[in-house]
A and B are shown apart, each in its own frame.
Chain A
């Protein structure tokens, strides 16, 4: 359990922290509505044993089904960082 961060394509910084099964996503990206980030964190936390591909699909599915727009970061970034943080 740990943290992982990266400057993603387009220049935004994104960090994922995994602590005791909880996930926190921070950075200078955009998401509308903003409160949806908590649900994105829950979606990832509930599937922490998954691989990056499954996590990416789960995040993308959530965004689409709830009509949440994300700008400056992609589901793949969050998924890959979560796996990196989990394994770190």
Chain B
């Protein structure tokens, strides 16, 4: 398939439920052949925890701490692990496109899309690399987690870029694999995770511009917005699925 013209939906800020619902609503339109391949960039407000499709909400998230701090929780329709989407410390991208634009092999398609994330880090002067299956790391420390699904011949991959990360805050909301967060655990997490801010001290706008530049590079793109139909469908999906405790507590 010839490289098509991509729609770019510039950085926007929404709540967890709409962010997930928009990814699904756009996927439906791309599957129907009514929307072009789409790149989205977004932040989360309120801050939120997203969990992978196969994860247990209760096991992964400290719901009491989330409630106390007005941090939302949502189950994604992609697999992978739990992520803390700090409004001030994280950016998310989505790629929503016909599957045929990407390798059939899942790991290879992660490698291709994560290559754009690596290019974003390169633009910021950071030497990052792909860590299969779905991470991007700098010196072995995670700076980006990514998750993909494919339905009705459409690939959706969304991923997080850690701009600034506070492990202690992160592990207030995420339940680690041990009984409680000890000082040692936070130190260990510091060793496993890093962020753009820690590495090069640029602000979030610079990180966004690098990410956007990397994802649009060499592509025919057009600045676009969501259609009314996509927004209406997203609101419906947010209410029916992503805000529903049946969905969020499915496991």
Contact = CB atoms under 8 A, between A and B. Distances in A.
Interface string B66-82: 00000000000111111
B106 A34 contact: no
A34 B54 contact: yes
B148 A30 contact: yes
Interface string A56-80: 0000000000000101100000000
Interface in A17-62: 24-34, 37
Contacts, number: 56
Most chain A Cβ neighbours within 10 Å, of B54, B55, B148: B54
Contacts of B249: none
Interface residues of B, number: 24
Contacts of B59: 26
Interface residues of A, number: 19
A69 B78 CA distance: 13
B220 to A, nearest CB: 28
Given A13-B177, A32-B149, A34-B79, A26 B55 contact: yes
Interface of B: 52-56, 59, 77-82, 106-107, 132-134, 147-151, 177, 251
Interface of A: 10, 12-13, 15, 24-34, 37, 69, 71-72
